[in-house]
Amino acid sequence: MTAGKAEPWNIGGRYFEICSCNVTCPCNFLSAPSEGFCNVAFAFEVQTGAYGSVDLRGTKVVLVIQAPDHMMKGKWKAGLYIDESATPDQRRSLETVFSGKAGGHMEKLVSFVTDFAGVKHVPIKLTFDTDKRSVEIPGILSSTIQAIKGNDGGHMTLENMPLTFWLPSRVTAAKQEQFKFSDNQFGMNWNWQGKHGAYSGFDWSGS
């Protein structure tokens, strides 16, 4: 997952994350993960933007990461899923952006990845309700998270966390109902309940 020459690009939309850490994930504060490792999935819906001349609106991507130790130590394993409804040009563009080869925010994140399991084109269903988010990749991934209510009854938010250098400065804290993931080809399988979740918008660009 090394950087290379890329077209100018920009994308924006909605994202959410689910992981194996307790609420809220200590990795975001540069602390050790709750379980001694961190299994995480990031789900993205692209609502605006393009890679060069390729329109990326309406595309969906899921990035799954397995960190074997403290996340800042690196040695992550990663797998990328791109919605099968994307055109061949969109697939190539999304792979370039989300593998970090186009620079920008994702290049920072995947700099910790040493084992890239591969890319799959699969049906991805993302649901965005008022205080819930869910992702479904048939036979591979199923998860739902719900926003945590704060003292005033509104959603609890987290700001300026050290590890979220690649995401917006503020995210809504959430708790998962379940987080089931199994992909034997990628060599990653797990099943969690009641752990960390978070969501926000995103707006990225690069050239």
51-110 pLDDT, tens per residue? 999 999 999 999 999 999 999 999 999 999 999 999 999 999 999 999 999 998 889 888
Tell me what the pLDDT averaged over the chain comes to.
94
Position 139 in a domain: yes
H/E stretch holding 92: helix 88-98
Asked whether residue 43 carries a pLDDT value surpassing 50, the answer given is yes
**131 φ/ψ sector (left φ>0, alpha ψ -120 to 50, else beta):** alpha
Q: State how many domains the chain has.
A: 1
pLDDT at 169: 78
pLDDT at 4: 45
Query: What is the domain range of residue 98?
Result: 9-199
- Longest CA–CA span in the chain (Å) reads 48
| Mean pLDDT calculated for residue range 116-138 | 97
Position 30 in a domain: yes
Position 204 in a domain: no
> Cα separations (Å) of 198 from 37, 74, 116?
18, 22, 24
pLDDT at 3: 39
> Cα separations (Å) of 137 from 39, 54, 67?
17, 25, 21
Position 2 in a domain: no
pLDDT at 2: 37
3-state secondary structure of 105: helix
CB atoms within 10 A of CB 42: 23
Share of the chain above pLDDT 90, in %: 86
Position 1 in a domain: no
CB atoms within 10 A of CB 128: 12
pLDDT at 1: 38
CA 207 to chain CA centroid, Å, is 21
Position 14 in a domain: yes
